[in-house]
Structure 1
C-alpha cells in the first residue's frame, strides 16, 4: 500500500526522570491481576466503579503520562498504550475508562498553550483526578455562548465514558456565534451540571458511562482548551494527531479484550474442562478442531497486534516531529491507525465469539462469565464502527485522499 512508518526516534531511557517503562508495565500487570480476581462478580454487579478507579490511582496509573518534573509518571504514549491493553485484558470496561482518562486529561497538551496546560494539569496531577467525557461529534451539539469575559455552556451529551466517576469533564461544544467546535473543561461538581446514569448497555457496564446536562454552566475563557475544527486552515498537523492518538487507545482496548479471552479460555482448556471430542479424554491437547480454532484466532490476533505496533511506532515518530510534521505525513499515520482499527475490531469480535465454541455449552454458565468478553467487545465496536475507517483506507489507497479528522467516541 505504501504507507510509510515514521521513524520511532531514540528508545533509550538515559537522562530520563522518574520510573522507566518496565516499572509501569509491572504496575499495570499487578493491577490487572488484581482486577481479574473478581472481574466476573464486579461485572455482574454493575456498580459504579469507584473502587476500580481507586485501584488505578493507588498504582499511580492515572498520572502516568504527566511529565515527571510536574509530579507525574513521565511515561510516553507507547507505554500508555501498553498499560491500557494490559488492563483491558483483565477488564475491558476499566481499560476503556483508563484510556478515556488518558486521552482527555492529555488533550490540553494537543490543543492549548503552556499556560493552560499548567493550569489544568497541576491540580489534576496533585489530586490524581479522574477525567471523563468525550470529544466526538453528536447531534444536537453542546452550545458555548459568550457571556461577559467568559462563556456559558448549555446542552446535553447523551453518552460519555467515565462521567459517573469523573473529577473533571472534557467535552465538545460549538460556539453559538461561529459554529466552531471547541474542547471545554468543566468541573462536574458545579450545581448546574447534572449527570444521569441513564444508560443500560449489555457490555462495558463498568465504564461509568452516562449522560451529562449543562444548564447555563459558567465557563472561564481559560477553560476553553482549543479548537476541534477539522478545517485544515485551522487545524495544524501536530494538533490533527489528536485523532489517531485517541483512536489507537480504542485499538489497544480491543486487542486487550481479544488477548484476555484467549488467555482465559486457554487456562480453562488446560484444566481439562472444555474438550468435547468423544475419542479423547478430558484434558487432552489433541482435539484437531480445537487446535485449528486456537491457531486461527491466534493468527488473527497476532496479525492485528503486529499492524498495531507499526501504527504505534508511526504515531510515536510523528509526535516527535512536532511542528515539522506535514499533512501528507499525518495522512499516512492516520490511515495506518485506521488499518489497525479494522484489524483489531475483527480480531476482538472473532475471538470473543468463537472462543465460546471452544468451551461449548458450559460457556452458557453465568458463573464463568466468559460472555462478558463478547459483550464488551460488541458494545465497543457498536460505538466505534470501522466501516468509515475502511472507506478512509480505500480512498487513500485509490485516490490519495486525506482521511477526515475524526475523534474517538
Structure 2
C-alpha cells in the first residue's frame, strides 16, 4: 500500500528539489524548502514503523534525503545552489524528526559537520589574505552529494587516546590516521567522515576528512539499539589511513585560552540540532495520538495518582473527543510541547546571532548561547520523554500490541526519545545554568558536547 504513495511523493519531491537548485538570479521562493521538507516528511511517515522494525542500514533513507536535496540546504548560494540559513535547517530537522527521528538525527549530524571548515578553518584567524581558499566542506559535500558523519570532539578523560595522527613518510607530507571510536549517527552509510585526531595523541586537534571506502577503514554497526535504530550509529576503526594535506579541514588549539569562541559554537550547534530532533519526536507522537483520539479509537481515561489523566486496563468503552479527562490529558501534553518549543526558539535565535558574528563573537555572547542551548536540552528532553510516555497510555486501546507487531507503533516514539536523551546529563546542564545565573560563570571553551 505504501509503494504507490511513496512514488507519488517522490515525484513531487523531485520537482521541488529541481526548483530549489535553480540559478540564484531568479526571484527567491521562501516556500521551496518548507514544501520539500513537508513532502519528504509525509513520505517517510508512510512506512516509518515498518522501517523501524526492520532495522536495516538507512541507505534508502539517505537516498530519499538526497533526492529531496536536503543535505545541501546549508550550502552557501552559488550559480546552481540556493542555500538556506540555520533557522531553516533547524526547522527541517524538526519536521523530518516528527516523521522519522532517525532520519532527523542523520541530517542533524550532517548539517553540523558541513560547517567544519567554517568553525575550524584558518579564515579569520590570521590566514594570508592573498591566499585562495579551498571550497568549504559544505560546498564540496553539496557538489559531490556527500552525506557527512563522524565527530570532531576529543576523547573524554579516561577513555583512551582516541584517534591519532603520525607524520607520513615521503615528500608529499600529510598524516597517517589510526585509532578506533564510536559515533552516534551516520557512519554506516556516510560518504565521508569528519573526525578529530591529535598528532601523536597530544596537542592541538586536527579536523580531517576521510573516505570510509578506504581499505583501512572498518565500520561495525554494533548491536541493535533500543531507539534511533536507523540513525546509522556504529564504531569505526582506522588502520594506517593516509590523510593528505588537503584533507585537513582545520585545527582546534589544545589550550582553551587560545580557542576562538566561534569555534566552540560547533558542539552547541550540534546539540541544538539534536534538541530539534527531540522536539520533533514529541510533536510527532502527539500529532499521531491526536489523530487516533479524533477517530474515537483511544483507550479509556481516568484520573491518575497525581490528579492527571491516566488509562485504565481497557475494560470500559473508548472515550469520545469531549471526555474531560482526555481533554485534560491533551491540554497538559500540548502545553509541554509549546513550552519546549518556546525555549528552543529562543536558543535557536541566540545561536543564529552567534553564527552571524563569526570570529567577532565574544566570551559573554558565547556563554549566553551555551546557557540557552543547555536550557533547551533540559526542557525538551524532559518534555519528549514525558509526552511519549503519556501518549502510550492515551492510545493504549489500540497500541497495546506493539511488541507483537500490532497497533500503530507508538512505542517507537518512546524508545527514540529515550535513546536520544540518555547521553545528556541533565544534572550537569542544570548545574552549569545555575552557576552562570548565580555567579556569572562561563562554561569552558571546549569541543565536548
TM-score (norm: length of structure 2): 0.83
Distance 2:91 2:388 in 1: 20
Q: Is 1:161 the equivalent of 2:182?
A: no
Q: Is 1:316 the equivalent of 2:373?
A: no
1:109-158 Cα offsets, whole Å, 9 max, x none, are: 21114666506444422221111112234322111122241111111112
* Contact persistence 1:89–1:259 (CA under 8 A): yes
Give the secondary-structure state (helix, strand or coil) at the position aligned to 1:237: coil
Aligned length: 395
CA shift, 1:296, in A, is 1.2
| Aligned twin of 1:381 | 421
| Aligned twin of 1:58 | 67
Distance change (3 Å), C-alpha of 1:127 and 1:104: same
Which moves more between the two structures, 303-312 or 223-232?
A: 223-232
Partner of residue 337 from structure 1, selected from 357, 363, 373: 373
Give the secondary-structure state (helix, strand or coil) at the position aligned to 1:118: coil
Distance 2:381 2:71 in 1: 26
Q: For structure 2, which runs of at least 5 residues remain unmatched after alignment?
A: 1-23, 124-131, 302-313
Distance change (3 Å), C-alpha of 1:195 and 1:280: closer
Distance 2:65 2:114 in 1: 15
* Contact persistence 1:261–1:370 (CA under 8 A): yes
CA shift, 1:394, in A, is 1.2
Partner of residue 144 from structure 1, selected from 160, 165, 175: 165
1:119-130 map, 5 Å: 120-130=137-147
Give the secondary-structure state (helix, strand or coil) at the position aligned to 1:262: helix
* Contact persistence 1:161–1:207 (CA under 8 A): yes
Q: For structure 1, which runs of at least 5 residues remain unmatched after alignment?
A: 1-14
1:317-344 Cα offsets, whole Å, 9 max, x none, are: 1222223221111101111111111111
CA shift, 1:246, in A, is 1.5
* Contact persistence 1:62–1:102 (CA under 8 A): yes
Partner of residue 298 from structure 2, selected from 237, 260, 274: 274
Distance 1:18 1:404 in 2: 44
Give the secondary-structure state (helix, strand or coil) at the position aligned to 2:60: helix
* Contact persistence 1:71–1:125 (CA under 8 A): no
- Answer 1 or 2: higher relative contact order, Cα 8 Å, separation at least 6: 1
Q: Is 1:371 the equivalent of 2:380?
A: no
Which moves more between the two structures, 225-234 or 22-31?
A: 225-234
| Aligned twin of 1:259 | 283
1:8-407 map, 5 Å: 20-69=29-78, 71-113=80-122, 118=135, 120-138=137-155, 139-140=159-160, 141-148=162-169, 149-176=173-200, 178-229=202-253, 231-276=255-300, 282=318, 284-366=320-402, 367=406, 368-405=408-445, 407=447
TM-score (norm: length of structure 1): 0.90
Large movers: runs of 4+ above 6 Å: 15-18, 278-281
* Contact persistence 1:229–1:235 (CA under 8 A): yes
